[in-house]
Amino acid sequence: MGSDYKRIILLKGLEAINEYQFSIVKSLLARDLGLTANMQEEYNKVRIADLMEKKFPGPACVDKLIDLFKDMPPLKDIVKQLRNEKMKVAKKTKTEETPKKKQQQQGGAGAAPAAATTSSRSSSALMGGTQEATAAAQKRKTAARGTAASKKNKVAPPQTGPACGLGGSTSAAAAWLPPPPAPAAAPVFPALPQSQTVKAPHQAAPRGRVLQQGPLTVLVLKAMEPFEYESPEEGKTRMFHATVATPTQFFHVKVLNSSLKEKFTKENIITILDYYECRGILEINKTSSVYQADPSQLIVVPNSIIKRASETPKIDNLYKQASGTFVYGLFLLHEKKVNRKTTVYEIQDNTGTMEVVGTERWHDIKCERGDKLRLFCFQLKMIDQKLKLTCGTHSFIQVVKAKKSKKDPVNFGVKVEFDMMNSPLDQFMGFNSGLVKTEDFY
């Protein structure tokens, strides 16, 4: 199981911290691991994990890392995860060792008869006498047990509830006894109760969503104001959409806990734990954790990634995507068709047109030809053998009114528009001006 503990300290511990925090760890471990100044400069996280495994074998290496991390406030959530992972490996080790012990016991029992066949007659006689004594003792124990059971049945009150379903056996009655006091070692794992309460809702997660427990540190690019939506579990509640990025990629995020809005401020660096991922979209709910990253931790996001995060996909490219893909972007409204229960908003760019199907709260919203629709979390679906954009529980539409000119009609040559998001009814933040370019904006 040594490799399991090494996996914990490397993947769940050292890999989750930044370079400044790692330099602190190397400095504190320098004496234990025999690190010179040059070694502290040159050794990476893998080599440090190798040395820790040798110096502190087994769970001791995890304990050592926990001792270091617990004195660093930004790493308190990582400490909880290290403790939980250590418990998992310990349980796994105990489960694997139990069958081995049983085999050894069975092997020992099988050796006894073999030895008996080679023993002398006096030994056989002695064994026979011992077996008779054992049998007599067993009879006395059985009789005593029956007497105790009869007394218990007379004294114990009648059982009700689930114990009846188990036939009222002695084992069922034992389940109603008060729990034993917690062992002295229990406080070593304070994260266990929180972990149990957090994972309960996760078990009921819909198909397609994958729980990501490892920490993810990101830079907030933008976030809209919370809006009300209908949740199947909680009824009417509030959420907001955001966009975040790492040095290598960006993510659209559904934040289902509106109280986290202050954390999602533009250019803020945050770390998230226990979030979901579905088709490239991150989802943060009330069981997730979001905390401010360490002040020394910097994330440099290339301009190319920031630009891609704000781009609107071309319509001809949407038709090449698989059904179920989520779409975000700013699209020109070409035509609006209002039906009894649905509204078809036909969007258009210089590559083609596509229908957006709006239902319920997105049925017949106030917009007209030439306006732009900013779509959040719309999903591609095949309807009547044609790929269309459809709204879901977490979808949102924002209408951007174009600034029309008396001389020129609204067309694709228009480069400047008045954005409602920067009016007093602003629902999106992070932009510098009410005048925006349509091509590089979402």
In a domain, 211, yes or no: yes
In a domain, 296, yes or no: yes
The C-alpha atoms of residue 201 and residue 72 are separated, in whole angstroms, by: 29
The more confidently predicted of residues 314 and 104 is 314
Among the listed residues 395, 243, 261, the one whose alpha carbon sits nearest the alpha carbon of residue 307: 243
| CATH number of residue 66's parent domain | 1.10.533.10
pLDDT tops 70 at residue 355: yes
Contact (Cβ atoms closer than 8 angstroms) between residue 288 and residue 272: yes
Among the listed residues 283, 278, 280, 226, the one whose alpha carbon sits nearest the alpha carbon of residue 254: 283
Q: What is the pTM of this model?
A: 0.48
Q: Domain range for residue 407?
A: 311-437
Indicate whether 325 and 406 sit together in one domain. Answer: yes
Indicate whether 251 and 325 sit together in one domain. Answer: no
Q: What is the pLDDT of residue 427?
A: 36
Strands in 188-325 per DSSP E = 210-212, 216-224, 227-231, 235-245, 250-255, 269-273, 275-278, 281-284, 289-292
Number of domains, the chain: 3
Indicate whether 217 and 299 sit together in one domain. Answer: yes
In a domain, 112, yes or no: no
Lowest mean pLDDT segment, chosen from 184-193, 247-256, 262-271, 277-286: 184-193
In a domain, 147, yes or no: no
| CATH number of residue 295's parent domain | 2.40.50.140
Indicate whether 329 and 211 sit together in one domain. Answer: no
The two three-digit tokens of residue 161, written as one number? 């509830």
pLDDT tens for each residue of 130-154: 454 455 555 555 554 554 444 444 4
Indicate whether 353 and 285 sit together in one domain. Answer: no
Indicate whether 431 and 315 sit together in one domain. Answer: yes
Give the dihedral sign, CA 359/364/368/372: negative
The more confidently predicted of residues 341 and 99 is 341
- Maximum Cα interatomic distance, the chain, rounded to a whole number of Å: 122
Indicate whether 334 and 219 sit together in one domain. Answer: no
Among the listed residues 282, 84, 118, the one whose alpha carbon sits nearest the alpha carbon of residue 194: 84
By CB atoms closer than 10 A (0-12, 13-18, 19+), residue 365 is middle
Q: Give the number of other CB atoms < 10 A from CB of residue 242.
A: 23
Q: What is the pLDDT of residue 197?
A: 31
- Among the candidates 48, 65, 87, a domain finishes at 87
